[in-house]
Structure 1
Amino acid sequence: MNTYLIRLEIVRAVRDPRYLALAVATPIGFYLLFATLFGQGPNVPVNLMVAMAAYGAIWAVLSTTGPRIAQERELGWLTQLRAMPVPAWQVFTAKLLAGLASALPAILAVCLVAVLVKGVRLDPGQWAALVGAMWLGTAPFAALGVAVGYAVNADASYVVCYGLYMVTSAVGGLWIPPAQLPESFREVSGWLPSNRLAELGWQVAGPSPALWPSIGVLAAWTVGLGVIALLAYRRPRFAPRPAAAR
């Protein structure tokens, strides 16, 4: 594995001001707002922390994969990478890992604010399991972002990723508790990776975690979207030509 390529992708992602604003600052702001307005129950601050950590992590992953990959394709950068002595699977894997890595700061930032401002307390083992499970649980969104990045052009990729982000967040119960969603949304919510990502955190922070249903749904989404991403990467007809070639 070309570790330099992976480091390059990660550094470029976390230096993007839009990443810092939408994936880190916005979830923190929403957490503080919601926890102040609705944080009356004993578990509400923790539940909101998990929901907003998932909210930030999803956008972190999508924004550092889809739009960035589509832009690089149009600029011809990925064409140059294909001409270099770097195996295609390393380029593809680096994009996935960079997207996955970008989720970690978003998760940690919300958790840190929850501890410092709202006094959230969990056991050390729970904190480690919570952060680790939610971090790995963003894998389907990394695959989704890569698929979008290789399938559509730069202008459309941001719109597609943001639209998917908002829809999956709303229907997945990140803004409103899943139990309070309309019945039609509740029937769909449990099958969405956004809901299962948050469910992992809620279960880990709860007294009797039942993780396997969420892990199974997230794993299925990861495999399915990973196959789609690989097909989009390997089939040039799924992607527009670089701008220089037009």
Structure 2
Amino acid sequence: MSSLVLLHTRYQFLEHLRVPIAIVASVFFPTVAMLAFVVPFAGDHPLAATVGTASMTMFAVMSSSLMGLGIGVADDRGKPWDPYLRTLPAGPFPRFAGRMLTSLAITLIAVVPVMLVAALLTEATATPLQLLLGLGALLVGALPFMMLGLLVGYSLPAKAAVAVSQVLFFPIAIGGGLLGNPLDPPAFIGAIAPYLPSRGAMELVWAATTDLPATPLALVMLAVWTIVAGAAAVWAYRRDEGRRFQ
């Protein structure tokens, strides 16, 4: 089974390299957001710069996971190769796992320029252990967004997936406080943020890289979103399989 997962991961990653615009977009937008929102407003303050950098890395995670998977899966479903793969006896797990590992690989690529901007242009600080823990927190925080991306991809055609993934992405990012001052958000954002997966994922990274504690409500809701979105993604896969292969 592990060899099949690695094979699907390799295939999916090579597909992205052949049409690299998705990787370019995943790298471009978080880096620009880092330059626009963190460097000029929080770059001189070590804690604020570190928190802002963590937020922009989560922005990269959301982009590559939710939008990348949602649009990519929907596009693949429209190609004749996808129905053939789904007739093979391996089952859905290798493809699911391969897509998720590919998404994580693109996320790691997207995080690199954000970290370079933080190191060169801000006073953000983190020990090697904090960086390692922060990376682990990013991978955990990516799970609900990957599940949401798979849900969108297996539920909708490609054109609709583009619109719906964007409609989901920006409210979740803004509502979680990623594009504002996460330490002092407006009252409305502060009220809804703990219930969104972006906030829980962001606070998990904060806790790993700074002395800021994560709030229990945000972490519980992160787990709830992961479980519910995962179950919905499996349902969408089986529903699509039942419609197309019955």
Normalised to the residue count of structure 2, the TM-score between the two structures is 0.87
Alignment equivalent of 1:148, drawn from 125, 146, 152 = 152
Q: Which residue of 2 aligns with 1:4?
A: 7
Give the distance between the partners of 2:177 and 2:100, measured in 1 at CA.
25
Alignment equivalent of 2:226, drawn from 205, 222, 226 = 222
Alignment equivalent of 2:22, drawn from 19, 23, 32 = 19
Q: Deviations over 1:191-232 (max 9, x none)?
A: 111111111122222225447654433222111101000000
Larger deviation: 11-20 or 73-82? 11-20
Q: Unaligned 5+ residue runs, structure 2?
A: none
In structure 2, the CA distance between the partners of 1:103 and 1:214, relative to structure 1 (3 Å rule), is farther
Give the distance between the partners of 1:106 and 1:15, measured in 2 at CA.
17
Q: Which residue of 1 aligns with 2:193?
A: 189
- Are 2:74 and 2:156, in contact at CA under 8 Å, matched by a contact in 1? yes
Q: In angstroms, what is the RMSD of aligned CA positions?
A: 2.4
Give secondary structure in 2 for the equivalent of 1:109: helix
Q: Which residue of 1 aligns with 2:118?
A: 114
- Are 1:96 and 1:146, in contact at CA under 8 Å, matched by a contact in 2? no
Q: Unaligned 5+ residue runs, structure 1?
A: none
Is 2:155 aligned against 1:159? no
Alignment equivalent of 1:236, drawn from 228, 232, 240 = 240
Q: Which residue of 1 aligns with 2:34?
A: 31
Give secondary structure in 2 for the equivalent of 1:87: coil
Normalised to the residue count of structure 1, the TM-score between the two structures is 0.87
- Are 1:107 and 1:135, in contact at CA under 8 Å, matched by a contact in 2? no
- Are 1:46 and 1:120, in contact at CA under 8 Å, matched by a contact in 2? yes
Is 2:73 aligned against 1:73? no
Q: Which residue of 2 aligns with 1:134?
A: 138
Give the distance between the partners of 1:200 and 1:107, measured in 2 at CA.
16
| Counterpart code for 2:234 | L
Larger deviation: 176-185 or 126-135? 176-185
Give secondary structure in 1 for the equivalent of 2:78: helix
Give the distance between the partners of 2:218 and 2:108, measured in 1 at CA.
19
- Are 2:197 and 2:221, in contact at CA under 8 Å, matched by a contact in 1? yes
Q: What is the identity percentage for the equivalent residue pairs of Structure 1 and Structure 2?
A: 29
Q: Which residue of 2 aligns with 1:206?
A: 210
**1:51 CA drift (Å):** 1.2
In structure 2, the CA distance between the partners of 1:63 and 1:77, relative to structure 1 (3 Å rule), is farther
Larger deviation: 78-87 or 193-202? 78-87
Q: Deviations over 1:31-63 (max 9, x none)?
A: 123233212433221121111111111101123
